[in-house]
Amino acid sequence: MVLPAFYELAIAGLLPQDWYLVGNGRGEKTDEEFAQHVHDALTEFGPAPGDGPWESFRDRLRFAGGGFTTEDPGQLVDVVDAIRDGRGGAGSADGGTGGAVEHQLVHYVALPPSTFGDYTRAIGEHGLDEGARVVYEKPFGTSPADFRELDAVVHQVLDEQQVYRIDHFLGKEATQNLHVLRFANTLVSGVWNNQHVAQVQIDVPETLGIADRAEFYDATGAVLDMLVTHLFQVAAEVAMEPPVSLGADDLQAARESVIAAFRPLDPAEVVLGQFEGYTDTEGVAQDSTMDTFVAARLWVDTDRWHGVPFLLRTGKELAVSEQRVSLVFREPEGPMTGVPSSANVLSFSLQGDGELALSVVLKEPGPELDLSTGTAALALDTVPGGEPLPPYARLIHDVLLGDRSLFTRPDGLAHVWEVAETLLDSRPELTTYEKGSMGPAAADELARPGRWLLQG
């Protein structure tokens, strides 16, 4: 997703006038070979090179081989210095005068979490930290202790304002529309509480398997890959109190405040699963007990959400692929009987450009008073004047602007690990499930007396 995001920004004209993208790795590549690597990524994942300014984009690609460690910076410092000194090519960054040019340096750390600390130390050791912005992929740590160690290393080298912990779910158009729909529409804001909402479902089932990244997945699993990152963050977006403003500091403060109100998970309210045949996958240990499915009941201990379960579910090799947030409203008191269960729902699809859907109870046309359910949906890409960006492109653009509104803070992440610690220390027994199902049947009990809205 990352390389195509830069090209999306180029197509939209949202990259700075003078920019360079420097690839860094242990191997040796020429600039032309790196450009071909980027071309192949765009060809496979889009947007296709021919759909944008490929020739001028290619001229801004550089590669610095030889790795990057505290002991040996490889070629990275030399390449960065050459660009800063106006020797970067592409017409030369200084307009041809050969003088040094001030560039904003952004490090995008797309590496295994186990290497984050060493790479961060190297940034400081080789003088590439001053004024820089550093983006870290998730998960930011793999355990509470690991998080604390990594956070300490990061803050030994960097100021917090330089740190961007990226979670692409926060960059989705529909996730951002949660704020707008709620805070700009009294019709919605008035029912955004436990007086009207029976349960919240954050459901991200996937039909995809793990064959293309088996080694990573067998060291991570669904809990670390999805639950303590994406699903907890989306839950915070739904549950937060209205911020003073939508500025970065106020929005982050509201998000982290509600995360602090997440109750530690009760392992009895968590279901872990592994799809049948998982251990037959190349790269997976034969005796692996890694989870490929997790469903959990999360409680948010605020006045607004007291008593409302947040149901979180995700897994691999399931019957459907969806990314949906649903507020299931309580059945009304009054004269109407036979109201369909879980029929009154406000939901947001987080896939693609996003969709807003409202399900309501209606009378079936005809002579009898028979009740049914009708749904109205609004695809967000049909909103007039809309030019949605893919999540990674949106977030990388925010990094270039220095906008940290949609990035996580360490205090919130620290509490996320506290919420998950009980589960990590006392994991429920793993249950196998069939490929193409919706996971272990035990997960259905978490939604009682309601039901999971997404079915296979």
Report whether 168 belongs to an annotated binding site.
Answer: yes
- How distant, in Å, are the alpha carbons of 72, 120, 128, 213 from that of 78? 12, 18, 11, 33
3-state secondary structure the chain: CHHHHHHHHHHCCCCCCCCCEEEECCCCCCHHHHHHHHHHHHHHHCCCHHHCCHHHHHCCEEEECCCCCCCCCCCHHHHHHHHHCCCCCCCCCCCCCCCCCCCCCEEEECCCHHHHHHHHHHHHHCCCCCCCEEEECCCCCCCHHHHHHHHHHHHHHCCHHHEEECCHHHHCHHHHHHHHHHHCCHHHHCCCCCCCEEEEEEEEECCCCCHHHHHHHHCCHHHHHHHHHHHHHHHHHHHCCCCCCCCHHHHHHHHHHHHCCECCCCHHHEEEEEECCHHHCCCCCCCCCCCCEEEEEEEECCCCCCCCEEEEEEECCECCCCCEEEEEECCCCCCCCCCCCCCCEEEEECCCCCEEEEEEEEECCCCCCCEEEEEEEEEHHHCCCCCCCCHHHHHHHHHHHCCCCCCECHHHHHHHHHHHHHHHHCCCCCEEECCCECCCCHHHHHCCCCCCCCCC
Alpha-carbon span 91 to 72, nearest angstrom: 30
Report whether 138 belongs to an annotated binding site.
Answer: yes
* Residue 230 known to be catalytic: yes
Take residue 92 and report the two structure tokens written for it: 């030369």
C-alpha Rg value of the chain to the nearest Å: 24
Burial of residue 293 (CB within 10 Å: 0-12, 13-18, 19+) is: buried
Point out the catalytic residue in the list 107, 230, 397, 415: 230
Alpha-carbon span 416 to 223, nearest angstrom: 12
Alpha-carbon span 229 to 140, nearest angstrom: 9
Residues 399, 107 contacting (CB under 8 angstroms) = no
Report whether 149 belongs to an annotated binding site.
Answer: no
Dihedral sign from CA coordinates of 379, 381, 385, 389 = positive
Report whether 280 belongs to an annotated binding site.
Answer: no
Report whether 316 belongs to an annotated binding site.
Answer: yes
Report, as residue numbers or ranges, the catalytic residues.
230
- Tell me the binding residues for NADP(+): 26, 138
- Tell me the binding residues: 26, 138, 168, 172, 206, 225, 316
